[in-house]
Structure 1
């Protein structure tokens, strides 16, 4: 939906989007609500119809945030098959400013989780 809204460059009615993707109305409505709540689309409601437009500024902000985490890292931060085997071990290795440290979860908070969630092994070779 984001690609279509971006390519059209303007507004598209929700009914058109539902028909274009051959989704049921509830499915389309739910997807559009998620995108609206995330700030990725803006909606203009007019009586019984809703027209959607891509919020390019917000999308650029989100994509830029993702790209920051795709930058090369120092060798000691790289993943290896012998890397961390649990979320608590991963949290202990997380550099400041990383996803873990900016999410508000401290290592202690992660360690306080249910033991099953905290010790799930990662697949070998990742």
Structure 2
């Protein structure tokens, strides 16, 4: 349960969840919505995945998050 609170404590991660609520996106599409580096977005996505708030599926070279 602590991972969920940690994940939700950050406004960037809450915005990522809002984006993914409507449709699945790859990391590049998510990163385009923010003024930060792709590695930073990947770190946020990793925290969301660890908290079981985001699912990911590898399709070809892309990872799709939902």
Q: Same fold (TM over 0.5)?
A: yes
How many residue pairs end up in the alignment? 51
After superposition, residues 29-44 of structure 1 pair within 5 angstroms as 29-44=42-57
Structure 1 unaligned residues grouped into runs of 5+? 54-126
Q: Distance in 1 between matches of 2:19 and 2:51?
A: 17
1:26 Cα deviation after fit: 0.6
The CA RMSD measured in Å over matched residues stands at: 1.0
SS in 2 for 1:22: coil
What TM-score do the two structures reach when normalised by structure 2?
0.70
1:3 Cα deviation after fit: 1.0
Q: Work out which of the two has the higher radius of gyration on C-alpha atoms and give 1 or 2.
A: 1
What residue is the counterpart of 1:5 in the other structure? 20
Structure 2 unaligned residues grouped into runs of 5+? 1-15
Q: Which has the higher helix share?
A: 2
Moved more, 16-25 or 32-41: 16-25
What residue is the counterpart of 1:100 in the other structure? none
Q: Which has the higher strand share?
A: 2
